[in-house]
Structure 1
Amino acid sequence: MRILVTGFDPFDGEEINPAREAVFALPDEIAGAAIIKAEVPTEFMQSTILMRELIAQHSPDIVLCVGQAGGISGLNAERVAINLQDARIPDNAGYAPLDAPVIADGPAAYFATLPVKAMVRAAREAGLAAQVSYSAGTFVCNHLMYVALHELRARPDVRAGFVHIPYLPEQVAKRPGVPAMPLAETVRGLSAMISAAVGFEKDLEVSEGALN
């Protein structure tokens, strides 16, 4: 089994992106699956091109995209990607789409095909804060999740999803009160989630719904 795991480069003036750092710190093998690591640009158009190239090149069995979400305190397994680009800030190419679709003729949304509830439980059992999230935003993270699921729409044998992770401690040194997670803990949590993605073909039948 091959698992493609992607992490974004730094954006919005940051010198580091925990997603890239965590992805490249993952073991080369998890739960018997080979981990293929790739950096993707925080750019709407180029991330689309690269995702398509990576899927074609590696023929993965699972695609897991990882991104930074400043302000969260745990690992967020995203359940849905929406067909919307609405950028509060420009991407790294200076592009800031407003109310534009990710794919012009695509459906309104795609649900993750990974077992997100099982992944969240695995992270919690590893001692990490984790939850199922029902909004991946409208920036490049949501965009890339949507693109991956769209590319794989006719491939039910290939599952895909997205996990948002917190800032690293060094990113919040001048941001009092903003949560962070050490790199080693993030890697441990992602490893547990990947193990669950390998081990569960069907998700857990438990509630992880949100009230707001």
Structure 2
Amino acid sequence: MILLSGFEPFGGDRTNPSWGAVRIARDILRGEGLDAEAVELPCVFGESVRVLHREIARMRPVLVISAGLAGGRERLSLERVAINCDDARIPDNAGNRPVDEEVVPGGPAAYFSTLPVKAALRALQIAGLRAEVSQTAGTYVCNHVFYGLMDYLAAESPGTRGGFIHVPRESQPGTPGGMPLHDMGEGIAVVVRTALATTLDVKVPAGAIH
């Protein structure tokens, strides 16, 4: 079982491309004979993680990939690390705005993705999809879910691999920037295929200077 998650709209947007993208990826993977499901998470601190944990416990997947929107980015961002910090610049959809709070009180400072992010980056580039390895998932609900996912897997399902992908805004006719929704979905499917086929990540440079 492969579990994918995306988010409901937030910040005044009417849609969230992360949810559309994971549904496309789910359908692509099902078409290839893989057992895949997608779940939409609320853009709410706490509740988003509880929903994801519930679905993991119910489905018992071997791979979990969560996705979220990073509107200022132009590439699929394979997140390397989740930090134990909630610091919200804007309220979530329930009006919560935690500042300098831990995602999991007393938890580790950070968790690394257990996805083969470098191999996935190479596979995405070969597929002609814009991608990068990102060193920060922010401190909003995306990082909250990423950290909550990795903390849960470490404690409850250490054999399950997991990670997070940020997607850009959906491209619109006549508007520069963004990425077609189908390309986002295909990119997530590429990452799934790579994770299923790769036990040891490749060692290629994909770091950041700043």
Superposed pair shares fold, TM > 0.5? yes
1:79 maps to: 80
Q: Distance in 2 between matches of 1:156 and 1:95?
A: 31
- Uncovered stretches (5+) of structure 2, i.e. residues with no partner: none
1:127 maps to: 128
- Confirm or deny: 8 A CA contact 2:23 2:185 kept in the other structure: no
**Cα drift, residue 31 of structure 1:** 6.1
Indicate the larger mover: 200-209 or 91-100: 200-209
Over the matched positions of the two proteins, sequence identity in percent amounts to 43
What pairs up with 1:4-153 in 2 under 5 angstroms? 4-26=3-25, 27=27, 28-29=29-30, 32-153=33-154
The one-letter code sitting in structure 2 at the alignment partner of 1:50 is V
2:209 is paired with a residue whose SS is coil
2:93 is paired with a residue whose SS is coil
1:186 is paired with a residue whose SS is helix
1:206 maps to: 204
1:163 maps to: 165
1:142 is paired with a residue whose SS is helix
Q: Distance in 1 between matches of 2:150 and 2:31?
A: 22
**Cα drift, residue 77 of structure 1:** 0.3
2:185 maps to: 187
The one-letter code sitting in structure 1 at the alignment partner of 2:136 is S
Q: Distance in 2 between matches of 1:186 and 1:207?
A: 23
Provide TM-score, normalisation by structure 2. Answer: 0.94
- Confirm or deny: 8 A CA contact 1:65 1:145 kept in the other structure: yes
Q: Report the CA distance shift for 1:67/1:148 in structure 2 as closer, same or farther (over 3 A).
A: same
Deviations 1:59-108 (A, max 9, x none): 01011000000011110000000000000000001000000000001000
1:13 is paired with a residue whose SS is coil
Q: Distance in 1 between matches of 2:14 and 2:57?
A: 30
1:16 is paired with a residue whose SS is coil
- Confirm or deny: 8 A CA contact 1:66 1:163 kept in the other structure: yes
